[in-house]
């Protein structure tokens, strides 16, 4: 008696099974893309031709200024207690956090909340899991690597990588 596993694998690889599954996957992708576009237009009608994954979180979207062709990836968070400006062709990879709000540790507890604006220049790419905190300006065509926490301004055309935040000029 032959084992059942190779037979099942052969059936699953066959055209009559594979093509309907591929069609379902393609339909699901199209539906989630439309859901993301519809959600962005509902939350931020001023976003224009930007693309936002449906799982992204936009806090105070009316305070976010979108450039042309901005792409916001899955599970991103944009917290705009103060204004956020995203330039043209900005790419936010999976899990990026841009947060303008924080606590003011110069005051005695309970700490006061403070918010400072963030500006992200044209052509900037923020890698997966990057965090940008309030008061930061990221210059044009800069690249911020995965997992970097940006607490200071990033010059134009720079590449920021690593846990110790090293800035490399191109």
Distances (CA, A) of 132 to 102, 150, 154: 12, 5, 11
| Range picked from 5-14, 40-49, 63-72 for highest mean pLDDT | 63-72
Q: Flag whether 4 is in a domain.
A: no
The answer, yes or no, to whether residue 7 has pLDDT greater than 70, is: no
Buried b (16+ CB within 10 A) or exposed e, 138-163: bbbbbbbbeebebeeebebebbbbee
Peptide bond into 48 cis (omega under 30): no
The predicted model scores a pTM of 0.80
The answer, yes or no, to whether residue 1 has pLDDT greater than 60, is: no
Task: Return mean pLDDT, the chain.
Answer: 88
59 or 48, greater pLDDT = 59
Domain extent, residue 148, equals 44-168
Q: Flag whether 32 is in a domain.
A: no
Task: Tell me the two tokens of residue 32.
Answer: 């989630």
Q: Flag whether 5 is in a domain.
A: no
pLDDT at position 44, please?
Answer: 87
CATH number, domain of 87, equals 2.160.10.10
- Per-residue pLDDT of 137-154, as tens digits, reads 999 999 999 999 999 999
Residue pair 118/96 in contact by the 8 Å Cβ criterion: no
Q: Please tell me whether residue 60 adopts helix, strand or coil conformation.
A: coil
State the average pLDDT over residues 155-165. 83
């Amino acid at each position: 008696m032959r084992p059942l596993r190779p037979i099942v694998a052969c059936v699953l690889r066959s055209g009559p099974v594979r093509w309907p599954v591929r069609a379902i996957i393609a339909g699901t992708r199209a539906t989630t893309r439309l859901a993301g576009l519809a959600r962005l237009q509902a939350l931020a009608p001023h976003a224009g031709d930007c693309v936002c994954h449906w799982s992204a979180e936009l806090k105070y979207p009316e305070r976010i200024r979108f450039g042309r062709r901005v792409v916001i990836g899955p599970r991103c968070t944009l917290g705009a207690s103060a204004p956020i400006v995203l330039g043209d062709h900005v790419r936010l990879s999976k899990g990026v956090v841009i947060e303008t709000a924080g606590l003011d540790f110069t005051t005695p507890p309970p700490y006061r909340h403070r918010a400072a604006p963030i500006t992200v220049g044209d052509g900037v790419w923020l890698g997966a899991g990057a965090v940008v905190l309030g008061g930061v300006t990221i210059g044009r065509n800069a690249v911020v690597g995965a997992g970097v926490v940006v607490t200071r301004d990033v010059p134009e055309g720079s590449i920021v990588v690593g846990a110790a935040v090293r800035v490399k000029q191109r």
